[in-house]
Amino acid sequence: MKKSKIEGMVAAAFTPMKAPGDIDLERIPALTDHLIRQKVQGIYVCGSTGEGPSLTGAERKAVAEAFVRASRKRVPVLVHVGHNSVREARELSAHAREIGADYISSVAPSYFKIGSVEGLVHALAEIASGAPELPFYYYHIPRLTGMAVNMPAFLEQAGRSIPSLAGIKFTSPELHEYQACLNAAGEQYDILYGTDEMLLGALAVGAKGYIGSTYGFLPLLYRRLRESFDSGDLQKARALQLQSVDVVRIIVKYGGLAAQKVMMKFSGVDCGNVRNPLQGLSAEDEASMEKDLLKAGFFDIVSEMNKQ
């Protein structure tokens, strides 16, 4: 199995919804085309951004299949298969293989917390075994899973039990541990960074690939940030990262994922609302957020994107 490297920007895709929280598969081709026009290097589906934990198994399969079909192999599709049931996750892995996905990724089961590297490897090995031909990325997101197992130690042990291990989707602000993972991984594994508002720091310690939700509606900002970093214009790169920070602070102010889905609408691709148990923004909050985004320069970037 060839473990091809992922470099550049991978968009964590939103799952389009229609009232009252039903998935809307018909919007996925337009969303996919939008992301590809904005030069993303991959699409990550059914993860946190895609509300994967709130979807049924059948819905997750339908969404993954729709994105794979819409991508037409123009960019790779990474399917998140994580589930509190290891067997269900393994089944989702097998399905991802059957529909032609390029990669699979999984959080660990988190209701019953795993407290050791050995336990994490044991669970992930079964999940990955559903699609042994597909490169597998562990999705490390301790803020949501409540698990902070030592990641460099995980890389050292997991390679012996998970032959398809390709790396880690590292969604944590702890840059020192991220750097330690890069050092431990060497040339063998990809360590994809997943905290958009700290991308510049990740690039500084060696990141090559990165996955995030704000890449769906502000990809131009991050392309310019990467270009500025690569050319040595750190002053410009810092200014662009600060603009990202300003937008993320607005996301946090207005409730996270619900706010981001409104931002997708503002960027010209309506993905609908969030699903219960998440709650959408009120009309008043949406109007207030629009004013905050205007001050942050969000709409200036969106306008430039839409002219391309």
- 132 lies in some domain: yes
- 176 lies in some domain: yes
- 281 lies in some domain: no
Range of the domain at 70: 8-231
Residue type, 142: P
- 43 lies in some domain: yes
Task: Point out the residues that are catalytic.
Answer: 139, 169
- 127 lies in some domain: yes
Whether 49 contacts 303, CB under 8 Å:
no
- 90 lies in some domain: yes
Cα 232 from chain centroid?
27
Sign of the torsion angle spanned by Cα atoms 110, 114, 118, 123: negative
- Where does 46-111 show beta strands of DSSP type E? 77-80, 103-106
The answer, yes or no, to whether residue 151 has pLDDT greater than 90, is yes
Q: Which CATH number does the domain housing residue 208 bear? A: 3.20.20.70
pLDDT tens-digit series, residues 104-135: 999 999 999 998 999 999 999 999 999 999 99
What's the rounded Cα separation, in Å, for the pair 130 and 269? 34
- Is residue 307 very low, low, confident or very high in pLDDT (cuts 50, 70, 90)? confident
Whether 244 contacts 222, CB under 8 Å:
yes
- 102 lies in some domain: yes
pTM: 0.95
Whether 80 contacts 307, CB under 8 Å:
no
What's the rounded Cα separation, in Å, for the pair 78 and 29? 16
Q: How many domains does the chain have?
A: 1
- 202 lies in some domain: yes
